[in-house]
Amino acid sequence: EVVARVSGIPTMARLPHRETADGLDAAFVGVPIDTGTSNRPGARFGPRQIRVESAMLRAFNSSTGAAPYQSIAVADIGDVNVNLYDLKDTCRRIREAYRSILSTGCVPLTLGGDHTIAYPILQAVAERHGPVGLVHVDAHADTSDVMLGEKIGHGTPFRRCVEEGLLDPGRVVQVGLRGSSYSADAYAWSRAQGFRVVPVEECWFRSLAPLMAEVRAQMGGAPVYLSFDIDALDPGFAPGTGTPEIAGLTPIQGVEIIRGCRGLNLVGCDLVEVSPPYDTTGNTALTGANLLFEMLCVLPKVRYL
Of 105-134, binders to a copy of itself (CB under 8 A) are none
Residue 189 binding a copy of itself, by CB under 8 A:
no
10 Å CB burial of residue 8 (0-12, 13-18, 19+) is exposed
Residues 266, 224: contact at Cβ < 8 Å? yes
Residue 78 binding a copy of itself, by CB under 8 A:
yes
Residue 270 binding Mn ion, by CB under 5 A:
no
How far is Cα 7 from Cα 210, in angstroms, rounded to an integer?
41
Residue 140 binding Mn ion, by CB under 5 A:
yes
Position 104: which residue type?
A: T
Residue 48 or 216: the one with the smaller Cβ distance to a copy of itself is 48
Residue 222 binding a copy of itself, by CB under 8 A:
no
Residues 101, 108: contact at Cβ < 8 Å? yes
Cα-based distances in Å from 137 to 170, 254, 276: 16, 8, 20
Quick one: which segment of 52-60, 104-112, 117-125, 217-225 binds a copy of itself (CB under 8 A)? 52-60
Residue 104 binding a copy of itself, by CB under 8 A:
no
Residue 16 binding a copy of itself, by CB under 8 A:
no
The neighbour count for residue 71, using CB atoms within 10 Å, is 19
Residue 301 binding a copy of itself, by CB under 8 A:
no
* Mask for 245-284, x = binds a copy of itself (CB under 8 A): xxx--xxx-xx---------------------xx-xxxx-
Ramachandran class of 14: left when φ > 0, alpha when ψ lies in -120 to 50, beta otherwise: left
Quick one: which segment of 128-136, 219-227, 243-251, 265-273 binds a copy of itself (CB under 8 A)? 243-251
Of 108-127, binders to Mn ion (CB under 5 A) are 115
Which strand (E) or helix (H) includes residue 52?
Answer: helix 46-53
